[in-house]
Amino acid sequence: MPKKPKIAFYWCSSCGGCEESILDLAEDILAVVEAVDIVFWPVALDVKYKDVAAMGDGEITATLINGAIRIDEHESMARLLRQKSKLLIAHGSCAHLGGVVSLANFSEREDIFTRLYSDVPTVKNPQGLFPKSGTIDSGNYLELPGFNDTVKTLDQVVEVDYYIPGCPPTPELIKEAIMAVLEDRLPERGAVLAESKALCHTCPLKESKPETIRIKKFKRLYEFEWDPSRCFLEQGIVCLGPVTRGGCNARCIGANMPCSGCFGPLDNVTDQGAKAASFLASLIDSTDEEELQRITASIPDPAGLFYRYSLASSMLKGKVAGNKSD
């Protein structure tokens, strides 16, 4: 019997949603399991790191890694899996662009620890215990993974062949990516495996989006009775569909939520946040200084809005916090 291609899955700093997205393949996962040997998948299979280390270089046909790079163990596993895999695929926004996890780059490493282990109102830590780099257990020294200064994308650590966008990606995209690997019909190396057009092109509300939109106030969903059958942006609600890659089946729009940008920027855009900010600025209907300030102040949480999925891959990276690693 011919040998099946080997596939691996790994997670770095991940919420688990991307792992769920594989399970969301539902009965299609049977077709995938039938076609491949899954040789490593920590969330589902008891395969040890040393088993991966014992594999030959390039032995794994394709590895999908989700989650951002936060600790040094993520870096070493990314390097090991790169070495053992013919193809390395960044799976989901965190691996692709840094994701929600990389919003931590707005804070210094020490401030994150202080907040988490001391200042959060629900934390009680009278001994002032903070994470350490090692500990003694039953007379044995245990080294713990180091916490890096900044969150990185996967391709800031190792070469990545392809990207599956989304937070999380749709099961359809994951299945299509795996089938493209198996059927040897992948596009040019480095491609994002989704549509190249903006979400608006496939949005079910696109017919109600006017040619020109002028905005006097950015409104939040709870502030007024909005019409779910009309384009969000046309009603003054921030929707990043015009500057976000399509291919998500407009899941959020279908659930009456505007696009928040998880599929990342279109090709040739280097900074998703800067692009989104300049796009929204172009819609503001005023030239009066005071009114401009009032309208821009109505944009909710600008840093979190524009860089929600892409801070690590942006031009800002972690420099905002003055981290030494950049």
167 contributes a contact to ligand SF4 by CB under 6 A: yes
219 contributes a contact to ligand SF4 by CB under 6 A: no
Positions 234 through 293 that interact with ligand SF4 (CB under 6 A): 239, 241-242, 253, 258-259
In the three-class reduction of DSSP (H, G, I as helix; E, B as strand; rest coil), residue 126 is classed as coil
Nearer to ligand SF4, 55 or 241 (CB): 241
Nearer to ligand SF4, 55 or 215 (CB): 215
Alpha carbon distance 198, 244 (integer Å): 5
206 contributes a contact to ligand SF4 by CB under 6 A: yes
Nearer to ligand SF4, 48 or 197 (CB): 197
User: What DSSP letter does each residue of 5-61 carry, written as one string?
Assistant: PEEEEEESB--SHHHHHHHTTTTHHHHHHHHSEEEE-TTT----HHHHHTSPTT-EE
- Binding ligand SF4 (rule: CB under 6 A), the pick from 36, 40, 65, 66 is 66
Nearer to ligand SF4, 112 or 182 (CB): 112
Nearer to ligand SF4, 149 or 234 (CB): 234
For strands 6-11 and 37-40, give the pairing: parallel
94 contributes a contact to ligand SF4 by CB under 6 A: yes
Minimum CB–partner distance for residue 169 and ligand SF4 (Å): 8
- Binding ligand SF4 (rule: CB under 6 A), the pick from 231, 266, 280, 311 is 231
Alpha carbon distance 82, 89 (integer Å): 10
- Where would I find the H helices in the chain? 17-23, 28-35, 49-53, 72-84, 93-97, 109-114, 171-182, 251-254, 272-283, 289-297, 302-306
For strands 134-137 and 140-143, give the pairing: antiparallel
- Binding ligand SF4 (rule: CB under 6 A), the pick from 232, 263, 306, 307 is 232
Nearer to ligand SF4, 262 or 321 (CB): 262
313 contributes a contact to ligand SF4 by CB under 6 A: no
Of 47-55, 199-207, 216-224, 288-296, which part binds ligand SF4 (CB under 6 A)? 199-207
Q: CB-based burial of residue 83 (10 Å sphere; 0-12 exposed, 13-18 middle, 19+ buried)?
A: middle
Positions 98 through 127 that interact with ligand SF4 (CB under 6 A): 99-100
CB 98 within 8 A of CB 309: yes
For strands 85-91 and 134-137, give the pairing: unpaired
Return residues touching ligand SF4 (CB under 6 A): 14-15, 17-18, 66-67, 92-94, 99-100, 167-168, 199-200, 203, 205-206, 209, 231-233, 239, 241-242, 253, 258-259
